[in-house]
């Protein structure tokens, strides 16, 4: 990965949700900006996945 030293917690949270990792799996310290970004990314994908499931697709 070209810029591996700069991780994006939001993208990591999205990836975790796609892998069905629960929100409790957030690897960042609660109360930090990275924790909030990871949670936001996770919630975005998890919500979309739940919406698709409820539509039956």
> Which stretches of the chain score pLDDT less than 70?
1-5, 57
CA distance 16 to 9: 10
**Which pTM does this prediction carry?**
0.82
Per residue in 34-50, pLDDT (tens digit) is: 999 999 999 999 999 98
């Amino acid at each position: 990965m070209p810029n591996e030293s700069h991780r994006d917690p939001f993208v990591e949270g999205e990836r975790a949700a796609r892998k069905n990792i629960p929100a409790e799996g957030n690897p960042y310290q609660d109360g930090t900006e990275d924790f909030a970004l990871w949670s936001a990314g996770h919630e975005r994908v998890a919500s979309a996945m739940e919406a698709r499931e409820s539509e039956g697709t």
